[in-house]
Amino acid sequence: MLTHYQILIIGGGTAGITIAAQLKRKDASLQIGLIEPAEKHYYQPAWTLVGAGAFDFKETERNEKDYIPNGVDWIKDKATEINPVINEVKTATSGSFTYDFLVPVPGLVMDPELLPGLSEVLDQGVVCSNYTNPEHTWEVLQNFKGGNAVFTQPTTPIKCGGAPQKIMYMAEDYFRKKGVREKTNVLFATPGTVIFGVPEFAKTLNKIIHDRDIIFKPFYAPVRIDGEKQEITFRYSKPGESNCTIMEGNPLGEELIGALDIKVHYDMLHIAPPQTAPKFIQESPISIQEGPGKGWIDVDIHTMQHKRFPNIFSIGDVTHLPTAKTGAAIRKQAPVLVQNLLTLIKEGKAGQQSYEGYSSCPIVTGYGKMLLCEFKYDNVKDSDPLISTLVDTTKEQYSMWLLKKYGLPFLYWNLMLRGKA
């Protein structure tokens, strides 16, 4: 195996495979190495449906080797250190590799330790997460007999910011079908300020929440979990508020602790674990060293080129981009990175292709219903012009459910990972 590559990619997930495939399609002579330890590749967007019993988990799993593009060297190992000053990447067992150009796209990692009490209960009993074990989520829903069904997310950035509420809508619909909805409180608690950042879609979602009697609590940041008592504590995080009040006769049985903490009993809990950049990224000079984006890769939000190391480009979940961390975002980011990198290789100066922040969050709101929420930087609606002429994507649509369940997986496996979309 070579120890020096013209282009070295770290990560064989959505971003890494898509970039490698697009690069090879544009120039088969490129010498590319791809560092990825996992043998399996997962289509994670379908895990929401798996958690609601509407998709087979096995259908989300494929062999990684079947998607490594021809002519790309698969370095089946884990990156442990990046030294951008000497253009070197160290791995766990295969030694060091040097590069002319580096594309670090390892995604992010689950870090449940950041929320006290979560590690002890995650994916056990009545605590579940589609982010880690969607099959267990489905078991929890099937066993649920009523009480407080709590859905929440952490204060850290997370992949697919809409996923914590997607499973909430699906679960609520399932409880109706199962006949336990009348004795259930469905709570969606988020550290965020609104149900969704794009006003056109938020309007529809707020109406759904109202019509289906879902309890929505913004400014609720989870701070600890007591697995034995089945209690989760939230901190009321509204700026400028020095105390929190609980309405009399609250159906959840919320209990105020001190001025800002609220304790809630749960009979089931679905949670997105806290998420961070991998440790080797956080500890590398390529990450932002201080401030709000600390630990995430420091790239120009339009060109995908690193702000301080011009021979490094990155996209996807590990970057500090002010848009949602989704596969749909990667689909729009990858061609920009590829074109700008190839121009740099050929002309000595990076291209000026620009990414405008597009991301998409297909929000399933029940069995057979979905909103296709597409947007760009600054939470501006950015719906596909063709789809928009056919359907109103700000409303629940059966056609969009079919797109989610059948169209998007096909697009992913057969076009996107092959460098064709």
Round to the nearest angstrom and report the end-to-end CA distance of the chain.
Answer: 30
CB 364 within 8 A of CB 48: yes
CA distance 37 to 330: 21
Say which residue the tokens 């766990």 belong to: 92
Question: Which of 128, 244, 361, 373 is an active site residue?
Answer: 361
Helices (H), 356-397: 385-390
204 φ/ψ angles, rounded to the nearest 5 degrees: -65, -45
Structure tokens at 282: 């956080």
CB 263 within 8 A of CB 229: no
Q: How many helices (H) and strands (E) does the chain have?
A: 11, 22
User: Rg of the Cα trace of the chain?
Assistant: 22
Long-range contacts of residues 252-261, Cβ cutoff 8 Å, at least 24 apart: 252/148, 252/185, 252/187, 252/215, 253/148, 257/233, 260/235, 260/236, 261/223, 261/233, 261/234, 261/235, 261/236
DSSP characters for 148-167? EEEEE--SS--BSTTHHHHH
Amino acid identity at 55: F
The three-point CA angle 124-258-193 to 5° equals 70
Q: Give residue 375's identity as a one-letter amino acid code.
A: F
Cα–Cα distance list, 208 to 101, 172, 205, 364 (Å) = 48, 11, 5, 12
Active site (annotated) includes residue 128: no
Q: How far apart are CA 168 and CA 182, in angstroms?
A: 16
The SS3 of residue 376 is strand
Select which of 128, 160, 244, 373 is catalytic: 160
What span, in angstroms and rounded, lies between the C-alpha atoms of 393 and 46? 20
**Does residue 160 have an active-site annotation?**
yes
Report the amino acid identity of residue 381.
K
Active site residues: 160, 361
